[in-house]
């Protein structure tokens, strides 16, 4: 057996979501294995989250530390919170998740069984967001954009840094190539060597892929279906600048593709463009993405702006920008 006395710290970056955050905290309070602390890093426009945390602080079964964010950015807020952690394991949760009661215990159990200290990070299963095998047409389009794969894309990071969720296989622990930050734990010493890249600003899309793919170069990444949570995924209700989001998707995926995975061939760039523009538009239209709260035109304009910044050398992600902090 590995270390059986692992303590856990939880870091949550939040912004203008006091109500779902309260539900998340209540599910943490009902865990069979409690964290030694929960650290909130808040970038809200008002004091509602701070006031909610002050109200809950005396009723929760773990210490709750509230911090005001120095910069509004999911990645930077998480790094800020980690500066205060005490636990052996650092759990990252989105502020709009609800955990099943054994979530933390099941993740910790995987680390405890790691006798050779080869595991860098472990994620649980998002029960309402799991891998589904693509249709025949979808698979053919993916082959063009990311290259041919084996039987499944589940848990993979392929082609121009295209990431797929893991399968929800009962009672299964599976090796994966990336981890999301919706419900993942890293060993503290490993996280402190890598951290989130602080060039990932604002919503910080794909900051989790960028981090976990770097960790995966040295350590094993695992997903367990025994740790389960529900993700309300409220991003569509809180985004304000869809053009900026589309731009970030392109710039951040490019950073993972080039600076982490080292995929710099012309074919990589062709697949990158095909995936983001051609495949992205087709899938978005098929899913009704251009209606209601998901404005396809603005997203597409932002993506094209991102490609222009890459072509003109204006991407914020450069080797000189401390992209891969140590």
- CATH number of the domain residue 213 falls in: 3.90.550.10
Classify residue 313: in a domain, yes or no: yes
Q: Are residues 233 and 265 in the same domain?
A: no
Pairwise CA distance, residues 258 & 282, whole Å? 25
Q: Total structural domains in the chain?
A: 2
Q: Are residues 181 and 263 in the same domain?
A: no
At 83-95, the pLDDT tens digits run 999 999 999 999 9
- Prediction pTM value: 0.92
Classify residue 2: in a domain, yes or no: no
Classify residue 145: in a domain, yes or no: no
Between 207-215 and 242-255, two packed helices, what is the crossing angle to 10 degrees? 10
Q: Are residues 221 and 275 in the same domain?
A: no
Q: Are residues 193 and 267 in the same domain?
A: no
| Residue 312: Cβ within 10 Å count | 8
pLDDT at 288: 62
Q: Are residues 193 and 282 in the same domain?
A: no
Q: Are residues 171 and 274 in the same domain?
A: no
Answer whether residue 138 shows pLDDT above 80.
yes
Q: Are residues 202 and 61 in the same domain?
A: yes
Classify residue 113: in a domain, yes or no: yes
Pairwise CA distance, residues 231 & 272, whole Å? 28
Q: Are residues 195 and 68 in the same domain?
A: yes
At 148-195, the pLDDT tens digits run 767 789 999 999 999 999 999 888 999 999 999 999 999 999 999 999
Q: Are residues 231 and 243 in the same domain?
A: no
């Amino acid at each position: 057996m590995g270390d059986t006395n692992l303590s856990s710290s939880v870091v949550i970056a939040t912004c203008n979501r006091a109500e779902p955050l309260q539900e998340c905290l209540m599910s943490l309070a009902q865990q069979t294995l409690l964290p030694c602390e929960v650290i909130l890093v808040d970038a809200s426009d008002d004091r509602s989250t701070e006031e909610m945390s002050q109200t809950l602080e005396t009723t929760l079964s773990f210490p709750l530390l509230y911090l005001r964010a120095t910069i509004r950015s999911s990645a930077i807020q998480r790094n800020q919170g980690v500066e205060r952690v005490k636990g052996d394991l650092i759990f990252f949760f989105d502020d709009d998740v609800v955990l099943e009661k054994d979530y933390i215990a099941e993740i910790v159990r995987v680390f405890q069984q790691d006798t050779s200290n080869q595991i860098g990070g472990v994620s649980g299963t998002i029960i309402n967001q799991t891998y589904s095998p693509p249709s025949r047409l979808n698979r053919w389009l993916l082959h063009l954009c990311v290259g041919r794969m084996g039987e499944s894309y589940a848990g993979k990071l392929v082609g121009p840094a295209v990431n797929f969720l893991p399968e929800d296989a009962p009672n299964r622990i599976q090796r994966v190539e990336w981890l999301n930050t919706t419900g993942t734990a890293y060993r503290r010493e490993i996280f402190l060597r890598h951290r989130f890249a602080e060039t990932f600003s604002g919503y910080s899309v794909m900051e989790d892929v960028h981090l976990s793919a770097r960790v995966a170069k040295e350590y094993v990444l695992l997903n367990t279906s025994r740790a389960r949570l529900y993700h309300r995924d409220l991003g569509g209700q809180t985004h304000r600048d869809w053009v900026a989001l589309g731009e970030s998707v392109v710039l951040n995926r490019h950073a993972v593709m080039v600076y982490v995975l080292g995929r710099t061939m012309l074919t990589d760039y062709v697949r990158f463009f095909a995936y983001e523009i051609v495949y992205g538009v087709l899938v978005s239209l098929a899913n009704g993405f251009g209606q209601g709260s998901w404005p396809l035109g603005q997203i597409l304009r932002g993506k094209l702006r991102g490609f222009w910044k890459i072509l003109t050398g204006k991407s914020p992600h450069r080797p000189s920008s401390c992209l891969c902090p140590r």
